[in-house]
Amino acid sequence: MKRAFVYFCLLLISACSAGNGEGLDANGRPIGEGPDPTDEPTLANIQARIFTPICTQCHVGAAAPQGLRLDAANSFADLVGVPSREVGGLNRVEPFDPDNSYLFQKINGTASVGARMPLGGPPLPDEDIQLVRQWISDGALPTVASAGEASKVRGVQMHTNGDLQNVQITFSRQIDTTSVFPSSLSIVRSRDERFGNGDDSAVFDFTIVPAANAYALVVRLKRPDTLPGYYRLSFGDNLPTGIIDASGHMVEPYSVEFQIGPQ
């Protein structure tokens, strides 16, 4: 009897401890148990939960339907910014716009053409559908940036189009176009390549244009304001505003020099 009584008391103490809120965070979850990382809206999680185990039963290899391969090596390149072959005017994945992304329409059952995906199987669970929606809403990034990691310049191209001299800068990830202002950029002109005293600020305007799997910043210099000479375009260094990528990180400082006129 004494042993049973002691056991009862231990159960009572345990129940009281569990119910008094001790050991729980503000949301009622046990301290130390954070959110499930597989619920984060990343391409890696979508690949592991949806594309690889379900979609690659059909969408893999040279015979993949509509040429859409959803294995880990090809899913991003075949989805983001790629036009749908079934519905004109829609991309398979349109960054920041899930409702106008054909992939989301197909798994959500709202596509105007064909059957809901996965074909011949039950619809995806709602939490998986919302995972895809959130990934697209966040910009459909290929990877998640580490803390402090910034987008980098991937390439620079020069274009001459009539009276416009264009400098196209392509970034490694999508940039937040709302973060780009005239104060985000600096262009100076020099009479020679030394960029010494006497430099003049060049008059310029710019536009943002989409590029494959990223964004390109196109800076258009208007003539005759842009006289022959050496130019340096910079951003991120000692300027009033910076350029932010879609994951919220500041784009790394960068500058490029080019020449207009006789070379």
Q: How far is CA 74 from CA 13, 58, 60, 70, 142, in A?
A: 56, 14, 9, 6, 11
- Residues 61, 62, 64, 66: is their CA dihedral positive or negative? positive
The pLDDT tens digits of the residues spanning 157-180 come to 776 655 557 787 877 777 777 778
**Pick from 178, 154, 163, 181: which is nearest to 246 by CA?**
178
Q: 3-class DSSP state for residue 184?
A: helix
d(CA 216, CA 130) in angstroms, rounded, equals 29
Q: What's the average model confidence in pLDDT over 85-107?
A: 93
Task: Give residue-wise pLDDT tens across range 115-152.
Answer: 999 999 999 999 999 999 999 987 787 765 555 566 77
Contact status, residue 167 vs residue 219, Cβ threshold 8 Å: yes
Q: For 26, which DSSP code?
A: T
For residues 249 and 145, the answer to whether their CB atoms sit within 8 Å is yes
What is the pTM assigned to this prediction? Answer: 0.49
Mean residue pLDDT of the chain comes to 76
**Residue of 156 and 261 predicted with greater confidence:** 156
- Mean predicted confidence (pLDDT) in 247-257: 81
Specify burial of residue 75 (Cβ count, 10 A radius: 0-12, 13-18, 19+).
buried
Nearest CA among 56, 140, 154 for reference residue 98 = 140
